[in-house]
Amino acid sequence: MDIKAYFHRIGLELPEDLTPNSALLRQLHLAHCTTVPYENLDMIRGIPTSLEEDALFHKIVEEGRGGLCFELNGSFGNLLRALGYQVTDYAARYLRGESTLPMRRHRVLKVEATDGIWLCDVGIGEVCQREPVKLEEGLVQEQFGESYKLEKEDFLGWVLWDLYKGSWRKFYSFTEEPQLEVDYIAPNFYCEQHPESPFNKKEMFAVKTLEGRKTLDGNLYKEFRSGAVTAKELTEAEMPEAYAVFGLKY
């Protein structure tokens, strides 16, 4: 792991003090999700993705690309381990917007810092936490005008909730069964190849900002800023410029 190169990729200077505490973790988490895009470009172009550490570093750091949750949280976890954090990978069920209980096809991280245990996730394109969430049941945690909390249920295990229009809704859930890299091969392959996968049909790009996020869904470009949304359907000629917003080549 070239830590200095990774810091440069996410727009940070390598500090002299690399104590693996929550302050550094918060800085890294925010920097990662505001510089490294959520993007499925390889999947819509039929290019297989690799979850090996060297491949993730090459794609995300050296090529300046992004990926889906298996890649983004996998790569982020590799960085955190190199910095001295204790990291455990979990498989999660994405519950928001689902009418039935879905398969586990999301990757999240439990990160043990010197001053607490945190849930980290830099691998979601929709509105989501931009900083770590403390792994503590019932604690309402606010960040950037958004509210999150964790509860426990018998079957689902830990459930992350977010506050939406005054009501709490289930976001995703995970149980505390550690996952190996090999455990993500099957769900990642589902996302790449399955005919019912939503990830292999059209552009699904997103990057967070301090005010919200920018997204490209097919040819529909949106900017979310402080509760306001601007949207535009792009022509073919406008697509390269939109790709460039996410550091991608059309």
CB 53 within 8 A of CB 47: no
- Is 120 a catalytic site residue? no
- Is 217 a catalytic site residue? no
Query: CA neighbours within 13 Å on the CB side: how many for 53?
Result: 12
Residues 6+ apart with CB under 8 A from 34: 11, 130, 207, 208, 209, 210
Catalytic residue selected from 29, 106, 128, 191: 106
Catalytic residue selected from 32, 89, 120, 121: 121
Sign of the torsion angle spanned by Cα atoms 152, 155, 161, 164: negative
Q: Tell me which residue has tokens 């491949």.
A: 55
CB 2 within 8 A of CB 14: no
Q: Tell me which residue has tokens 């709490």.
A: 168
Catalytic residue selected from 69, 120, 128, 191: 69
Of the candidates 227, 199, 197, 196, the one whose C-alpha atom is nearest the C-alpha of residue 211 is 227
**What is the C-alpha to C-alpha distance for residues 217 and 247, in angstroms, rounded to an integer?**
16
Which run of H or of E encompasses 42?
A: helix 41-44
Q: Which of helix, strand or coil describes residue 29? A: helix
- Is 54 a catalytic site residue? no
| Catalytically active residues, by annotation | 69, 106, 121
